Amino acid sequence: MSLNINQTSNFAPTNNGNGTILEVAVKAKSIAEEEGEMVLQLIESAGTPNAKPIGNIGHSVNISA
């Protein structure tokens, strides 16, 4: 098997002058920013210091063997 680094792959967008590559890059950036915002929200919600157990589960744990 041989690889040709000068050959473009079939799935890569072609630059035919209509801004296709730029549109793909802008969309990828917006998706990455949205994912980053979701991750930050998840981290912030996990670090809530006032989080308390809901209901009766988790208030007491029997650790005797």
Per-residue pLDDT of the chain (65 residues; tens, 9 = 90+): 555 666 655 666 566 667 788 888 999 999 999 999 999 998 888 776 666 666 777 667 777 76
Q: Is 12 helix (H, G, I), strand (E, B) or coil?
A: coil
Residue type, 36: G
User: What DSSP assignment string belongs to 8-49?
Assistant: PPTTSPP--SSSHHHHHHHHHHHHHHHHHHHHHHHHHHHT-T
Radius of gyration of the chain, Cα coordinates, nearest whole angstrom: 25
Residue type, 12: A
